[in-house]
């Protein structure tokens, strides 16, 4: 039976990094609403045009838009292991996910809570660099590209995300505490806490042992 997992945690906790490892090593599919929204913004779709100003300010994009996006995505979903990365982020989104999964005959197996303090989140987000070409994620100190500022995979120059600037980072952390943290109670016994402040292989070992 295919597994369904939610990655819950603040921005910068390493959810995307761990999703990539699980995709490579355990054949998971990653569904990141952040990545989908950035694609929509880049392609200037109606969703992207509506979402951009929320994202620029570090606010959550309205639930209706996110739920519609996920519903569309789940229409054509193969019977594979799935990680929801950065979704749900509100109780309303979590309720929508519950009914969607029920309709698809899938159960939620685990919610991995990435535990990390705000100071480390700020260090990770302010040093994050991404490859505009292939989406690879780096960090100026923890995981720099091998050749200065160019992607190891495709040699494109890496860049800082607009919302990884100091002022926006603070908003995103606040939004996490006020709007997303209540999901820990919502999911109750399904939550497995992982110490996300460890190095990425240690975090991976913990998550893969849970799954």
Tell me which residues touch ligand ADP (CB under 6 A).
Answer: 11-17, 124, 127-128, 137-139, 142-143, 199-200, 203
Tokens of 108: 């939620």
Tokens of 92: 């309303």
- The reply to whether 115 belongs to the active site is no
**Of residues 15, 38, 124, 129, which has the active-site annotation?**
15
Nearer to ligand AMP, 61 or 207 (CB): 61
Tell me which residues touch ligand AMP (CB under 6 A).
Answer: 11, 33-34, 37, 54-55, 58-61, 66, 86-87, 89, 93, 163, 172
Nearest to 37 by CA among 29, 50, 48: 48
Residue 33 binding partner per list ligand AMP, ligand ADP, none, with a CB distance cut-off of 5 to 8 Å that depends on partner kind: ligand AMP
- The reply to whether 38 belongs to the active site is no
- The reply to whether 92 belongs to the active site is no
Segment holding 111, helix H or strand E: strand 110-115
Residue 145 binding partner per list ligand AMP, ligand ADP, none, with a CB distance cut-off of 5 to 8 Å that depends on partner kind: none
**Buried residues in 183-199 as b, exposed as e (16+ CB within 10 A):** beebbeeebbebebbee
CA dihedral 152, 8, 30, 27 (to 10 degrees): 90
Nearest to 119 by CA among 204, 201, 7, 12: 12
Nearer to ligand AMP, 14 or 34 (CB): 34
Which of the residues are catalytic?
Answer: 15, 89, 128, 161, 172
């Amino acid at each position: 039976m295919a597994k369904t997992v939610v990655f819950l945690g603040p921005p910068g906790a390493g959810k995307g990094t761990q999703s990539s490892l699980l995709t490579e090593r355990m054949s998971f599919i990653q569904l990141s609403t952040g990545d989908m929204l950035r694609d929509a913004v880049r392609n200037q779709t109606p969703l992207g045009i509506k979402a951009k100003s929320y994202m620029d300010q570090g606010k959550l994009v309205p639930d209706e838009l996110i739920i519609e996006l996920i519903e569309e995505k789940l229409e054509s979903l193969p019977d594979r292991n799935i990680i929801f990365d950065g979704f749900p982020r509100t109780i309303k989104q979590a309720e929508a996910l519950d009914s969607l999964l029920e309709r698809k005959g899938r159960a939620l197996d685990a919610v991995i809570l990435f535990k990390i303090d705000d100071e480390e989140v700020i260090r990770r987000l302010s040093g994050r660099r991404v490859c505009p070409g292939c989406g690879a994620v780096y960090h100026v100190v923890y995981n720099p590209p091998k050749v200065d500022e160019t992607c190891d995979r495709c040699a494109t120059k890496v860049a800082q995300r607009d919302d990884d600037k100091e002022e926006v980072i603070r908003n995103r952390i606040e939004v996490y505490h006020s709007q997303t943290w209540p999901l820990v109670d919502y999911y109750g016994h399904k939550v497995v806490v992982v110490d996300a402040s460890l190095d990425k292989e240690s975090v991976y070992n913990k998550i893969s042992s849970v799954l």
